[in-house]
Amino acid sequence: MILLAVSAAAAVTNMGTSLPAAKGSATTIGSDSSNPSTTTASYAAATAAGSVDYNSRTEGAFASFDFASGTKLPDKATASLGNATFQPGVNVAYVPLTLDRPTPNTVIIRLTTVNGSGTNAAKSNINYQTVDTVVIFRPGDPLRQTVAVPIITAQDGQQFQLKMREAPWGGLQGQSTATVTASSSATATAKATGTFRAPRTFAATGTLQFELQKETHKRSPEGGWNRWATSLANGRTQIANEETGLYLDSSVFPGVEGPVYWSDKGLVLHSQKLKQPIYYEGRNWSYGASVLDGRNYLATQIGYGQYEWDAKMPNRRGAWPAFWLVSTSGWPPEIDVYEGFGQQSYWDFDRHVAHTIHGGANITRTFQSGAVIQTDQAYGWSGYSQDFHRYAIDIQRDYITWFIDGKESYQSVNPFNGFRWYPIMDVAVKTDSAYNDGTGDMIIRGFKIYSTP
């Protein structure tokens, strides 16, 4: 999401899915691939020259990268499949998948087998077993993995394919299809021997600094040192971002359905189609959005540490819920912990999540990097609007790591050292529909903030 609106910003294409223009609009320069580093460039040259050990880990690859105070980010890695051979009579074939450089963020690739063609075609469940799998590269991982395809029986010369289902989530697409051939005369493609990092488990390593509780919860239109604001730093509208929801506060707009209230399940952020339009800043608004903004709430602000929300998401088409962090020194930078693009037709609230960072300075974005992840396919996780789930982020000097229900979902190198953050939780609205399907409410059952030195 983006906080400050000065001009309309276009969507930035990432990870095989177009990340919609975020929460507001701003001057945008380039994208997350616009600032090559000497470190990643040297890796690219070395891989081209064949001098890189693809199986060795790449920790420290960005130690010398100049992030220019959060305005630059290393290039994305390009993932490519390689053709493979196996000996007739073996029970497994290995297909290589490589990155062209160390990745600054998690790369997720969905792969599936496809029958061969012609007289030498190998067929699924006759010559080989169907594979439909996901391969994940995390920052620091080796640059080469292999996908194991079980072989049933194959004659010399028979072939099939392994292909990417779409462009990688978090990376760029190189060779997207590999031909896998049974050959008695060729050396079989070797299994990768590199050591890959296991996903992290969320642990609060900092000191508990803040916990959302009904007894101490306070809010006001502009917020304060001990209370949330019910507006954004730039006001109650995001016209440049084409949002159709007015951020409401019942003390400012008497008679509206409560945009923020406590229920027996938790703190509710309520979005709605208004019974009567509200005239505000020169136009009529037919929808109500809801936000709690911590820009003045000192207890919610940290430099390094962890934020963790326990929440149930809306599922209404046109709802735009998010948990996000903005620099206390001004936008950008920004870190999106969770974002749900209900205004996009492809979006499934129970299976999709978006994790994004925005870099730049002085209301000018210089890069946007992240991933829209179909977590049911990537990790086997789903049901975000059906029940409560935990969304957490760990901000450390080297990496930023995202978690869902305590399990790592994404990681990025941290380009924002030295910044301090405040949280925002909101349900924006971006629709002109009846806005009455499902629910437009986000319910927050818990929220904790841990600070580390």
For residue 240, which phi and psi values (nearest 5 degrees)?
Answer: -65, -20
- Calculate mean pLDDT across residues 311-329: 98
Query: pLDDT at residue 29 above 80?
Result: no
Residue 1 lies in a domain: no
Distance of CA 432 to the CA centre of its chain: 27
Looking at the DSSP assignment, which residues form a beta bridge with residue 447? 309
Assess whether 122 and 260 both reside in one domain: no
Provide the residue range defining the domain that includes 89. Answer: 50-182
Query: pLDDT at residue 415 above 50?
Result: yes
Assess whether 350 and 404 both reside in one domain: yes
Q: What secondary structure, in 3-state letters, does 40-75 show?
A: HHHHHHHHHCCCCCCCCCCCCCCCCCCCCCCCCCCC
Looking at the DSSP assignment, which residues form a beta bridge with residue 211? 448
pLDDT band at 48 (very low <50, low <70, confident <90, very high): low
Query: pLDDT at residue 295 above 80?
Result: yes
Residue 396 lies in a domain: yes
Encode burial over 440-451: b for 16+ CB neighbours within 10 A, e otherwise.
Answer: bbbbbeebbbbb
- Calculate mean pLDDT across residues 233-245: 95
Assess whether 211 and 245 both reside in one domain: yes
Q: Between β-strands 12-14 and 17-19, what pairing exists: parallel, antiparallel or unpaired?
A: antiparallel
Assess whether 236 and 385 both reside in one domain: yes
The dihedral through the CA atoms of 60, 63, 66, 72 has a sign that is positive
Assess whether 143 and 257 both reside in one domain: no
- Calculate mean pLDDT across residues 47-62: 82
- Calculate mean pLDDT across residues 213-231: 98
Assess whether 56 and 24 both reside in one domain: no
Query: pLDDT at residue 14 above 50?
Result: no
Q: How many CA atoms lie within 13 A of 434 on its CB side?
A: 3
User: Which parts of 329-397 are beta strand (E)?
Assistant: 334-339, 352-361, 364-374, 389-395
99 with 74: CB under 8 angstroms? no
Q: 363, 367, 427: which is closest to 7 by C-alpha?
A: 363
Looking at the DSSP assignment, which residues form a beta bridge with residue 442? 269
Q: Specify the pLDDT at position 6.
A: 38
Percent of the chain with pLDDT over 90: 87
Q: Specify the pLDDT at position 346.
A: 97
> In the listed set 182, 215, 232, which residue is the last one of a domain according to the structure?
182
Assess whether 24 and 96 both reside in one domain: no
- Calculate mean pLDDT across residues 325-341: 98
- Calculate mean pLDDT across residues 346-355: 98
Question: Between the CA of residue 380 and those of 62, 70, 182, what are the distances in Å?
Answer: 31, 33, 33
- The domain spanning residue 441 has which CATH number? 2.60.120.200
Assess whether 169 and 280 both reside in one domain: no
Q: Specify the pLDDT at position 4.
A: 52
- Calculate mean pLDDT across residues 303-326: 98
Residue 433 lies in a domain: yes
pTM for the whole structure: 0.92
Assess whether 24 and 101 both reside in one domain: no
Residue 195 lies in a domain: no
Assess whether 347 and 438 both reside in one domain: yes
- Calculate mean pLDDT across residues 51-71: 92
Question: Between the CA of residue 357 and those of 1, 73, 102, 365, 405, what are the distances in Å?
Answer: 9, 10, 19, 10, 21
Query: pLDDT at residue 37 above 70?
Result: no
Query: pLDDT at residue 9 above 60?
Result: no
> In the listed set 182, 217, 243, which residue is the last one of a domain according to the structure?
182
Question: Between the CA of residue 170 and those of 74, 345, 373, 431, what are the distances in Å?
Answer: 13, 21, 9, 28
pLDDT in tens, 108-145: 999 999 999 999 999 999 999 999 999 999 999 999 99
Assess whether 290 and 430 both reside in one domain: yes
320 with 442: CB under 8 angstroms? no
- Classified as helix, coil or strand, 376 is helix
Q: Specify the pLDDT at position 8.
A: 28
Residue 145 lies in a domain: yes
Query: pLDDT at residue 373 above 70?
Result: yes
pLDDT band at 42 (very low <50, low <70, confident <90, very high): low
Q: How many CB atoms lie within 10 A of CB 50?
A: 7
Percent of the chain with pLDDT over 70: 89
pLDDT band at 53 (very low <50, low <70, confident <90, very high): confident
Residue 43 lies in a domain: no
Q: 78, 254, 241: which is closest to 173 by C-alpha?
A: 78
Q: Specify the pLDDT at position 97.
A: 98
pLDDT in tens, 145-192: 999 999 999 999 999 999 999 999 999 999 999 999 999 999 999 999
Assess whether 387 and 435 both reside in one domain: yes
Domain count, the chain: 2
pLDDT band at 41 (very low <50, low <70, confident <90, very high): low
Residue 189 lies in a domain: no
pLDDT band at 1 (very low <50, low <70, confident <90, very high): confident
Q: 114, 83, 82: which is closest to 97 by C-alpha?
A: 82
- The domain spanning residue 86 has which CATH number? 2.60.40.2030
> In the listed set 182, 210, 245, which residue is the last one of a domain according to the structure?
182
Residue 349 lies in a domain: yes
Helix then strand then coil, in percent of the chain rounded to 5, is 5, 45, 50
Mean pLDDT across the chain: 91
